Amino acid sequence: MTSYVVLYRGASLGDAKVVAVSANPQIVAQVAGEMLRESHPTAAVTDDPVLRAIGQGRRRALRLVTGATQ
């Protein structure tokens, strides 16, 4: 399965336009790795089990994408 990264730009999410798209495995892995290094306290701190599961699942998915390109 192919993974993609997309760069959007706009004044708001609703106004954003696609600037660039890449399926280059090295670029995808680099972006996924950077996102894993970001701090996302919501997943760890929240009492909401749904939000916690989303955060944990997101991190697992990013690890899989990073590993798939190595």
Q: Where are the domains of the chain?
A: 24-70
The per-residue DSSP string of 37-66 comes to: HS--HHHHH-S-HHHHHHHHHHHHHHHHHH
pLDDT band at 56 (very low <50, low <70, confident <90, very high): confident
Bridge partners of 9, per DSSP, are 17
Which pLDDT score is estimated for 39? 67
List pLDDT tens digits, range 6-41. Answer: 999 999 999 999 999 999 999 999 999 999 888 666
Which pLDDT score is estimated for 64? 92
How many angstroms separate the CA atoms of 55 and 47, rounded?
Answer: 12
Whole-prediction pTM: 0.74
Of 66, 37, 67, 42, the C-alpha closest to 53 is 42
How many angstroms separate the CA atoms of 48 and 70, rounded?
Answer: 34
